[in-house]
Structure 1
Amino acid sequence: MVGESYAAVLRGDGVVRLVIATSISRMTTSMLSLSLLIAVSKSTGSVVDAGAVLFAHAVSLALVAPAAGRLVDRFGSRPTLFVFVGFHTLSYVTVVFALVHQLPAAYLLLAAAALGATTPPSGSVVRASWPHLVPESNLSSAYALDTVINSSTFIFGPILVGALLYVMPPNMIVGSCAVAKVVGDMLIANSPMARRATERRPRRLFSVLANAPLALLLAIVALDTFTIGAMQVGAVASVTATLAGVLLGGFAAGEVFGGIFYGALRAQPSVKRGMIAFHLVTACFFILMSMTSNHWLLLLLYLGAGVFSGARDALGQLAVGLSARPEDRTEAFGWLTSFMWAGYGLGTLLFGSLGEGWGASAIYLAAAAVSTTAVIATCWLKIVNPQPKE
């Protein structure tokens, strides 16, 4: 049955509690982006300032994420999370204070940068913990579940913000994100997995990137999020702003379904073959997107691309967990976060320029070329596959 794989994962010691805590923590990511965008634009009267504030938050988060993961591997999950949660709380207070008192954009930029830099590495901690929580035969289902949680937050987070705007100002929603983030990350920090002793020994800086298969895998993940940036820009270039939101919501829903379906498969392909197949199919979807202007067909294509993207992302996380050494695993997932944000940021930037000059069709064709490049790169990967499910 479909649910057997996930039931086996959830039976692991402390897994249900960790899933709840992770869902609370990650919900704030999508909520913060939208609520902060609205709050800053109202505070400063400028959408440009709001975009700059979100960019400062994203860049600082991407730059610090690998270092945060390294600290977890060096000093342990629990003490590192406690320290980051403390500074993150202060950063949230600074952001809300700047919004309430309508301080100049420069103050908001600094506060947002501090907020990104102090983001607790809870996502990396959870992803690095799956090999310790579930048997190797259920790892693919565990990482699929992780992907489903992540994708679901980008469906329900904006909806929740829209509902809360009817009862509270955007500044208060940003404050609510702070409370939820602190609660979720503290639950993760106090979980039995976070108390596990960590081997403490000095390692070379960037030693994770010296792992050639892992470095190549992270580059492939960056290519994947690069194409997601293309899909976002392509949606805006293809339809109205309202319909663009529907397209992106369809893509996120497809990712949830794809992650659930892949994780439930009993006869799963090898990691390498699966990644090659999913990238090829995604490239085909991009080509079809470039050939249509029908909104309903475009929605179906976004939904279909999301299905294979969700399965691909689950495989990517599994591959990172298998490729990294146990003592480097949290830092490896920190680098995964960094590469994902970098790829997405570059995608929105470069494809935005491409769309202005050549239109939406050129965006989708370029995204297809990037996915094909990821296929070629995946052919060079050397990954040890987990044991099949019984």
Structure 2
Amino acid sequence: MLTAFFAAAAWGRVGLAATPLALLWFVHDRTGSWSGAGLAAAGLAVAEAVAGPQTARLVDRFGQPPVLPVLALAHAAGLVAVVVLLPASAPPLVLLTAGLLVGSTLPQLGAFSGARWSHRLTSATGLSRAFAWEAVANSTAFLLGPVLAAWLAGRGLPEVALAGAAGLVASGTLVLALLRSSAPPPARRGTPGLGLPRGLGLPLVVTACLGVHFGALPLAVAAARPEAAAAVLGASSAGGLLAGLALTRARDPRLRRAAVVLALVATPLALPGLLTAPVVVLAAVLALVGAAVPPVVVATTVLVRERAAPQQLTSAFAWSASVSAAGVAVGSAAAGQVVDRVGPPGASGLAALSLAAALLAVLGWGRIVRCARCDPPAS
């Protein structure tokens, strides 16, 4: 099941996961301002969410081999420009622009790899297992990337962290471009509007809810238990990794069943006393929640693959990634407000509520769509 293009995308994603934190530390080290660093990181997130689907449209139209080298070189050049040219006294607009420059050139490696799996495999079980490996690679990247960036920045080497992230991203993208035989054929015709494929409402709503969860939960844990946050969130990631590995040998999960299980195991997050419970209890609950996430991710990814036209596969996967990033941003911002007003348990409850919303969407999507298509009553 593991292939050269999967390996190239996997190591590139370690760099993708490290880039936001590396940029945050670098800007803070250069300017001495946390607010400025946060502004640059926010610019990166917004640019990635907006530009990702549009660069994916180019890939769908012209193919991966000609477009990926341009993306890789543009991203590397953008980061070099930021490192060399960003002044210590940079005003907020310059810091925001730096983040926008880096984020707008980030290659959507998960979308590129997912499109290759979809081109190569035809059976539902094979695709499900492939997307389970994608979930494992993504979880591993978000374990390794931020840790490496923080470790280098903590030793006074934020430039090395940023350069290392750029090297991983660019090399993974370039190798992916060289592996021409597994790349889907180009569509040669653009899609109208913003390039959002039809029929993706349900998977995108579920993905957005998952993003809100992942934006809110770490903030709630960090605010309530700063001394144990790393260990507790590590347990959650470990649960997700183990579940993802198990799915690589299992039958394809069903979205409805997976959403029910996830909402049920996340119910304790809404209990006011959970965040003050013993660390072992909190870690066990988060490990269970983390283990229940990959089946939902795999099922929604399969649904995206089934509903997207062959000439829009990369765009469809990129939209999913962008919606997830937007959900994380909303979840983080909302959780911060909730923590300030009612405390960390409120943010933990928000994380649980977002998963309940995902379940409600799965259970009632058909009715929602039918209602939206109804003619308004005559007056």
Question: Does TM-score exceed 0.5, indicating one fold?
Answer: yes
CA contact 2:44–2:99 (8 Å) conserved in 1: yes
Q: Structure 1 residues 165 and 372, CA, compared in 2 at 3 Å: closer, same or farther? A: closer
The Cα shift of 1:339 comes to 0.3
Structure 2 gaps of 5+ residues are 367-379
The equivalent of 1:121 in structure 2 is 108
Q: Structure 1 residues 56 and 193, CA, compared in 2 at 3 Å: closer, same or farther? A: farther
The equivalent of 2:237 in structure 1 is 252
The equivalent of 2:224 in structure 1 is 238
The equivalent of 1:281 in structure 2 is 264
Aligned mates of 1:162, 1:128 — CA distance in 2: 32
The letter for the 2-side match of 1:190 is: L
The letter for the 2-side match of 1:300 is: A
Q: How does 1:66-77 map to 2 (within 5 A)?
A: 66-77=53-64
The Cα shift of 1:292 comes to 4.7
1:223 aligns with 2:209: yes
* CA deviation string 1:272-306 (max 9, x = no partner): 33333233234324235754512321122121111
Q: Which moved more, 1:127-136 or 1:74-83?
A: 127-136
Q: Structure 1 residues 283 and 302, CA, compared in 2 at 3 Å: closer, same or farther? A: closer
Root-mean-square deviation (CA, aligned residues, Å) is 2.2
The equivalent of 2:185 in structure 1 is 197
Match of residue 9, structure 2, among 5, 14, 22: 22
Q: Structure 1 residues 166 and 364, CA, compared in 2 at 3 Å: closer, same or farther? A: closer
CA contact 2:268–2:274 (8 Å) conserved in 1: no
SS at match of 2:248: helix
CA contact 1:144–1:259 (8 Å) conserved in 2: yes
Q: Which moved more, 1:329-338 or 1:166-175?
A: 166-175
1:134 aligns with 2:117: no
* CA deviation string 1:206-262 (max 9, x = no partner): 4535x23x122202110111011110121122112x422222222222211121112
The Cα shift of 1:195 comes to 4.6
The equivalent of 1:56 in structure 2 is 43
* CA deviation string 1:104-151 (max 9, x = no partner): 144332122111001123321111121222341311110010010000
SS at match of 2:294: helix
Aligned mates of 1:37, 1:117 — CA distance in 2: 16
Q: How does 1:1-390 map to 2 (within 5 A)?
A: 9-10=1-2, 15=3, 17-98=4-85, 102=88, 104-106=90-92, 107-136=94-123, 137-165=125-153, 169-193=157-181, 195-206=183-194, 208-209=196-197, 211-212=198-199, 214-240=200-226, 242-266=227-251, 268-269=252-253, 271-288=254-271, 291-294=274-277, 295-380=279-364
The letter for the 1-side match of 2:209 is: L
CA contact 2:57–2:190 (8 Å) conserved in 1: no
Aligned mates of 2:349, 2:152 — CA distance in 1: 38
CA contact 1:285–1:304 (8 Å) conserved in 2: no
Aligned mates of 1:185, 1:71 — CA distance in 2: 15
Q: Structure 1 residues 206 and 272, CA, compared in 2 at 3 Å: closer, same or farther? A: same
The letter for the 2-side match of 1:254 is: G
CA contact 1:96–1:171 (8 Å) conserved in 2: yes
Number of matched pairs: 363
CA contact 1:286–1:364 (8 Å) conserved in 2: yes
Aligned mates of 1:235, 1:115 — CA distance in 2: 29
The letter for the 1-side match of 2:300 is: G
Aligned mates of 1:41, 1:329 — CA distance in 2: 38
CA contact 2:25–2:153 (8 Å) conserved in 1: no
* CA deviation string 1:320-363 (max 9, x = no partner): 11221111111111111110111000000011101111112222
Aligned mates of 2:160, 2:240 — CA distance in 1: 30
Q: Which moved more, 1:51-60 or 1:35-44?
A: 35-44
The Cα shift of 1:103 comes to 5.0
Aligned mates of 1:116, 1:55 — CA distance in 2: 9
Aligned mates of 1:115, 1:284 — CA distance in 2: 38
The letter for the 1-side match of 2:299 is: L
SS at match of 1:264: coil
Aligned mates of 1:91, 1:194 — CA distance in 2: 28
CA contact 2:75–2:106 (8 Å) conserved in 1: yes
The Cα shift of 1:311 comes to 2.5
Q: Structure 1 residues 69 and 193, CA, compared in 2 at 3 Å: closer, same or farther? A: farther
Q: Structure 1 residues 319 and 329, CA, compared in 2 at 3 Å: closer, same or farther? A: same
How does the TM-score come out when normalised to structure 1?
Answer: 0.86
The equivalent of 1:387 in structure 2 is none
Q: Which moved more, 1:360-369 or 1:184-193?
A: 360-369
CA contact 2:60–2:312 (8 Å) conserved in 1: yes
The letter for the 2-side match of 1:284 is: T
The Cα shift of 1:364 comes to 2.1
CA contact 1:74–1:198 (8 Å) conserved in 2: yes
SS at match of 1:231: helix
SS at match of 1:296: helix
Q: Structure 1 residues 130 and 285, CA, compared in 2 at 3 Å: closer, same or farther? A: farther
The letter for the 2-side match of 1:232 is: P
Q: Structure 1 residues 331 and 196, CA, compared in 2 at 3 Å: closer, same or farther? A: closer
Aligned mates of 1:363, 1:178 — CA distance in 2: 33
